[in-house]
Homo-oligomer: A and B are copies of this chain.
Amino acid sequence: MTAARFLLALGLAAAAQAAEPPPAACAVRGTGDLGIAVERARGSLQWLDTTRKISLGRVEGLGDLSHASAVFSRDARYAYVFGRDGGLTKVDLLCGRVARRIIQSGNSIGGAISQDGRYIAAANYTPGGVKIFDAETLDLVADLPTGSKVIGLEDVPGNRFAFSLWDKGEIWLADLSEDPRQPKITKYTGIGTQPYDALISPDGRWYVAGLYGENGIAVLDLWHPEAGVRRALPDYGRGEEKLPVYKMPHLETWAMVGGLAFIPGVGRHEVVIVDTATWTLAGVIPVAGQPVFVMAQPDGRRLWVNFAFPHYDTVQVVDVPSRKIVQTLKPGKAVLHMEFTPRGEAVWLSVRDGNRLEVYDTASFGKLAELPAEAPSGIFFTARAHRYGL
């Protein structure tokens, strides 16, 4: 078919489908205001425009997306989605389609993209270990067996990845800067029992793992890796009495504002304040339920908190300087995730049982938009391409 006839055919198709672009069309547009929302049950994504606050369509065929997460290419065009079925799917946000998809393991828990954007690392449960792929082709670059489930895989400045071994209680650093096919591995052993999630601070300095098997957290100062991993917050965790914990809180988005970290209390109805200069407790803020995510607005002025069952219909907003709750929202059952626009004028929420996304003005708390979505969970915007640990 000639280019002209091809375009004509496409044009007819476009006319027939009115406003919805056909799946094979690719747009000339900026990618800084795009995003995705995971539709976990359906194995699909909603493909989002955060300027117009609309969905650009649906991308299907991503497999099992329960607990799925995503990272973005450095040009902000592609999302890399890590699925629970071990699938790694590269989604083209300009064309609204799957660009590549591989099954890279039996069961994956998440991943990261290297500082230079050239490598994707996936953390695996089954059979464990970390695999590193070329971001362009998804070809395997390195396979790092660990003999353990891997959790809390994060990108670290210096083209490194940090991750934790659930079964062994270790933190590893893999340095790709010299030879990505044979990363240099540094191992920290005895960091605590059953690390279950980890984060890297927004400045890329602190790698922190939460512990499931005991109280406390493990802290690695990447400015001083030679000092090793230390334990902190000895009372933080499930407690001696093993409080009923409805959902272990996520660490990935602990809020860090001006030398303080605001973190979910485990099994407690409180946000815990930690001084990151000393990694000691600095206070608590009582909230409506067991927090799952404690997220700071990009300006650090307010925290947005969602909760585990049975308070999972609620979102509370905390004013940082006064530490007071300034707003309680009830978007609906199962608010699973929150994502701020890059400069924080709006926040998007996924309301799973309401089958919708909601968009709120962060200043007025007014609802700006509602979008239908099928049992949505994670929401991820392309500006994450330019941040550590996101």
Contacts and interface: CB of A to CB of B under 8 A. Distances in A.
Interface of A: 1, 3, 6-7, 9-15, 18, 21, 25-34, 50-51, 72-78, 93-95, 115-117, 155, 157-159, 177, 203-205, 223-224, 257-259, 297-301, 321, 341-345, 363-364, 382-383, 385-388
B33 A32 contact: no
A274 to B, nearest CB: 15
Given A3-B11, A30-B73, A50-B74, 8 more contacts: A30-B75, A30-B78, A34-B75, A74-B341, A203-B298, A204-B300, A205-B300, A258-B259
B25 A6 contact: yes
Nearest to A319: B223
Contact of A77 (B3, B25, B29, B298): B29
A115 B30 CA distance: 17
Given A75-B51, A321-B223, A31 B30 contact: yes
Contacts of A321: 223-224
A28 B342 contact: no
A159 to B, nearest CB: 7
Contacts of A73: 30, 32
Nearest to A361: B177
A386 B342 contact: yes
Given A203-B299, A299-B388, A386-B383, A342 B74 contact: yes
Contacts of A26: 10, 13, 28
Given A7-B11, A11-B3, A15-B3, A343 B27 contact: no
A18 B259 CA distance: 52
Nearest 5 interchain pairs by C-beta: A32-B76, A30-B77, A30-B75, A342-B386, A204-B299
Given A343-B157, A345-B116, A9 B32 contact: no
B387 A343 contact: yes
Contact of A205 (B11, B29, B301): B301
A363 B159 CA distance: 9
Contacts of A115: 343-345
B301 A157 contact: yes
A75 B28 CA distance: 12
A33 B72 CA distance: 12
Contact of A29 (B75, B344, B387): B75
Contact of A28 (B28, B116, B117, B205): B28
A34 B75 CA distance: 8
A72 B342 CA distance: 13
Given A204-B299, A301-B223, A343-B387, A9 B28 contact: yes
